[in-house]
Chains A and B, each alone.
Chain A
């Protein structure tokens, strides 16, 4: 969901940015963070708690809480709420603590 109308602000149309999320080709808009783009696409589960594997979603939105950690272009534990979306990014849900050997 995105805000389209606002009494004061205007939302000029921005450039589409295509990326893949868990293998699926999707898009956000220029200026989005990765997490914001996913949120707008209706993706509510960004990560899972380490012990109980419970779903974790968009939370602090300022890069502090680790709730949005995902694998981006092969790098684990990327705080997607503070990383700008770029064309062709490969974003994956992370199912473990993150493996540095994958880098």
Chain B
């Protein structure tokens, strides 16, 4: 079978890239996934979309992505509500150090048009009445951040891409990528052979392995991040509440359930996505300390998913100098879902040799060659 381009991975990044390429008129686009649509990190994510970042690049990617989400349902002509709710992110500071860092962050965010503000803890309590003021110093708030349903958003891209002629192959694993004369010739899966000169690595948690298929060493690794969900109740919380120091993010989704997660510093670098008692124990203690009222709720379910982590916690949206025609959108470090509209747009521009909407030199894989050049993203749970 011939293909203009083979995209590996049907998470949010893969479907967004496929859609954007198809919209620009590219024919014979193939998306291959070893499982089903949004079965990896996308379907396991915390469903939050935010713009309050600590690096300029992440701020720009997030702002433009939110602009897209606001119109996504219309643009993609999707038949369902994608459950986009803009009731903000409230990021709490625990001490003066965080307050000062957030002051810089807000200034940076405002410089690219993100309407975030720094507020006192009393103002924070007006936004989230059940916040425990004894354990926080102050907060920042951005009202246009919010929630988006990962399954519906991915499906919206998928349906739109299919209408434009993109072919999807599920439950099909890429086993080999044949390269000769420094050019990609063929992608071999366990079911098909696709003759192509272009491959996009959008494999999420398995990005490194898909790099290894062509001998490109991508400096990313995967680690398990766990989440839990509670029973639904009537709405009591508008924004997502985050604390980097306390290590928690927690939001009430439109259906009424609370979704919350935290990271585990001692987690190993591998593809494990199991659930642990340790997480349940630490998560509930952290949540009850910061938001005591939700201690009344029962936990319904917990699960894990892979963060694909890059050295500077910023994505790698890049081609490679070693192999023409090999592209990647990897290493999102837990935030691939919220950046997906820009991931798709930027990579499609790069593939078609168009000028990119944002200068993404700093997202190139080559940035890791010089140690000092990278700009580390601190605002990550």
Interface residues of A (CB under 8 A from B): 50, 66, 75-77, 96-101, 103
Q: Are A97 and B296 in contact (CB under 8 A)?
A: no
Q: Which residues of A are found within 8 Å of B293, using beta-carbon distances? A: 100, 103
B359 adjacent to chain A (CB < 8 Å): no
Give the interface SS of chain A, mostly helix, strand, loop or mixed: loop
Q: Are A103 and B234 in contact (CB under 8 A)?
A: no
Q: Are B296 and A96 in contact (CB under 8 A)?
A: no
Docked Cα-Cα span, A96 to B236, in Å, equals 13
Interface size class of B (residues with CB under 8 A): 10 to 19
Docked Cα-Cα span, A19 to B233, in Å, equals 26
- Most chain B CB neighbours (cut-off 10 Å) among A77, A97, A100, A103: A100
Interface string of B242-263 (1 = CB under 8 A from A): 0000000000000010000000
Question: Among B130, B232, B298, which residue has its beta carbon within 8 angstroms of that of A97?
Answer: B232
Question: Among B231, B236, B296, which residue has its beta carbon within 8 angstroms of that of A66?
Answer: B231
B179–chain A nearest beta-carbon distance, Å: 53
Q: Which residues of A are found within 8 Å of B294, using beta-carbon distances? A: 100
Q: Which residues of B are found within 8 Å of A75, using beta-carbon distances? A: 296
Ordered by A's residue number, 29 sampled pairs between the chains whose C-beta atoms are within 8 Å are A50-B232, A50-B256, A75-B296, A76-B233, A77-B231, A77-B233, A77-B298, A96-B234, A97-B232, A97-B233, A97-B234, A97-B256, A98-B233, A98-B234, A99-B233, A99-B234, A99-B236, A100-B130, A100-B233, A100-B234, A100-B236, A100-B293, A100-B294, A100-B296, A100-B297, A101-B234, A101-B236, A103-B293, A103-B296
Docked Cα-Cα span, A56 to B256, in Å, equals 19
